[in-house]
Amino acid sequence: MPRRDLPPLRALTAFEAAARLGSFRLAANELGITRSAVSHQVKGLEQHLGLQLFKRDARRAELTQAGHAYFPPMRDAFDQIEAQTRNLRPQVADNELTIQVYVTVALKWLIHRLHDFERRYPDMKVRLSTAYFDWEFDETNVDCGIVLARNKSPSHSYRPLFRSLLTPVCSPDLLKGANALKTPADLKKHKLLYVYTAEEDWRLWLEGAGVKNIELSDRLAFDSYILAQEAAIDGRGLAMTPPMRSAWAGSSSLSRSWYRTAIAGSSPASPRTSSSRRSNVSRSG
The enclosing domain of 19 has a CATH number of 1.10.10.10
Task: Say yes or no: 276 and 235 in one domain.
Answer: no
pLDDT-wise least confident of 30-34, 91-95, 146-150: 91-95
pLDDT value at residue 227: 87
Task: Say yes or no: 182 and 43 in one domain.
Answer: no
Task: Say yes or no: 104 and 172 in one domain.
Answer: no
Asked which of 88, 118, 140 is the last residue of a domain, the reply is 88
**Sheet containing 239-240: order of strands:** 239-240, 168-170, 255-256
Inter-residue contact 108 to 247 (CB < 8 Å): yes
Burial (CB count within 10 angstroms: exposed 0-12, middle 13-18, buried 19+), residue 50: exposed
| Distance separating alpha carbons of residues 18 and 25, to the nearest angstrom | 8
**74-83 per-position pLDDT tens digit:** 999 999 998 8
| Distance separating alpha carbons of residues 108 and 70, to the nearest angstrom | 45
Asked which of 88, 122, 149 is the last residue of a domain, the reply is 88
Of the candidates 41, 256, 70, which has an alpha carbon nearest to the alpha carbon of residue 168? 256
Checking if the pLDDT of 283 tops 50, the result is no
Question: How confident is the prediction for the chain on average, in pLDDT?
Answer: 78
Task: Say yes or no: 119 and 146 in one domain.
Answer: yes
Torsion of CA 170, 217, 184, 245, to 10 degrees: -50
Coil vs helix vs strand at 117: helix
Asked which of 60, 88, 116 is the last residue of a domain, the reply is 88
**121-138 per-position pLDDT tens digit:** 888 889 898 875 556 777
| Distance separating alpha carbons of residues 115 and 122, to the nearest angstrom | 10
Range of the domain at 128: 96-162+269-280
Half-sphere exposure of 227 (CA within 13 A, CB side): 13
| Distance separating alpha carbons of residues 242 and 254, to the nearest angstrom | 14
Between 249 and 65, the higher pLDDT residue: 65
Of the candidates 50, 54, 49, 58, which has an alpha carbon nearest to the alpha carbon of residue 16? 54
| Distance separating alpha carbons of residues 246 and 225, to the nearest angstrom | 14
Between 66 and 224, the higher pLDDT residue: 66
Burial (CB count within 10 angstroms: exposed 0-12, middle 13-18, buried 19+), residue 187: buried
| Distance separating alpha carbons of residues 211 and 166, to the nearest angstrom | 15
Q: How many residues does the chain have?
A: 285
pLDDT-wise least confident of 126-140, 149-163, 263-277: 263-277
pLDDT value at residue 250: 45
With cut-offs at 50, 70 and 90, classify the pLDDT of residue 110. confident
Coil vs helix vs strand at 9: helix
Coil vs helix vs strand at 182: coil
Distant-in-sequence, close-in-space partners of 282: CB < 8 Å, separation ≥ 6: none
- Model pTM score: 0.50
Task: Say yes or no: 61 and 177 in one domain.
Answer: no
**159-192 per-position pLDDT tens digit:** 877 776 778 888 888 888 888 888 888 888 888 8
Q: For the chain, how many structural domains are there in total?
A: 3
Looking at residue 125, which CATH number applies to its domain?
3.40.190.10
Task: Say yes or no: 81 and 106 in one domain.
Answer: no
Q: Which of 71-75, 115-119, 168-172, 242-246 has the highest mean pLDDT?
A: 71-75
Inter-residue contact 168 to 238 (CB < 8 Å): yes
Query: What DSSP string runs through 246-282?
Result: GGGTT-SS-EES-S--EE-TTSS-EEEEEE--GGG--
Task: Say yes or no: 24 and 145 in one domain.
Answer: no
Task: Say yes or no: 245 and 123 in one domain.
Answer: no
Distant-in-sequence, close-in-space partners of 234: CB < 8 Å, separation ≥ 6: 171
